[in-house]
């Protein structure tokens, strides 16, 4: 099975394989969720779309970090700093 784009090419965009896997997996989950919410099917598999975004330069390390930070903020409850009196 041939992989396009080659891993070598993708690693030119991302500093490590670990980061590449995390970026692609995170973006693929987001693409799947967005497609499910909109009710429109994806043209290709979400992982293939995410890999292509890395190859095209539209998904960068900086963009992935911003998306992760935004997702983290959405997951934190508003009263995270408050403690309950027991």
Q: Which pTM was predicted?
A: 0.75
> What is the per-residue pLDDT for 1?
44
User: How far apart, in whole angstroms, are the C-alpha atoms of residue 19 and residue 45?
Assistant: 20
> What is the per-residue pLDDT for 76?
73
C-alpha distances out from residue 43 to 11, 12, 35, 83, Å? 25, 26, 10, 47
Q: Where are the domains of the chain?
A: 7-72
User: How far apart, in whole angstroms, are the C-alpha atoms of residue 63 and residue 15?
Assistant: 14
Instruction: Report which secondary-structure segment, H or E, holds 66.
Output: helix 61-75
The model's pLDDT over 36-86, given as tens digits with 9 standing for 90+, comes to 999 999 999 999 999 999 999 998 888 888 877 877 777 776 655 555 554
C-beta of residue 19 within 8 angstroms of C-beta of residue 61: yes
> What is the per-residue pLDDT for 68?
77
């Amino acid at each position: 099975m041939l992989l396009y784009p080659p891993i070598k090419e993708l690693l030119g965009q991302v500093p490590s394989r670990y980061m590449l896997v995390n970026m692609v997996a995170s973006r693929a989950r987001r693409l799947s969720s967005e497609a499910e919410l909109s009710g429109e099917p994806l043209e290709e598999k979400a992982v293939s779309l995410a890999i292509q975004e890395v190859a095209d330069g539209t998904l960068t390390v900086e963009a992935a970090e911003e998306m992760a930070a935004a997702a983290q903020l959405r997951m934190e409850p508003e009263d995270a700093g408050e403690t309950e009196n027991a």
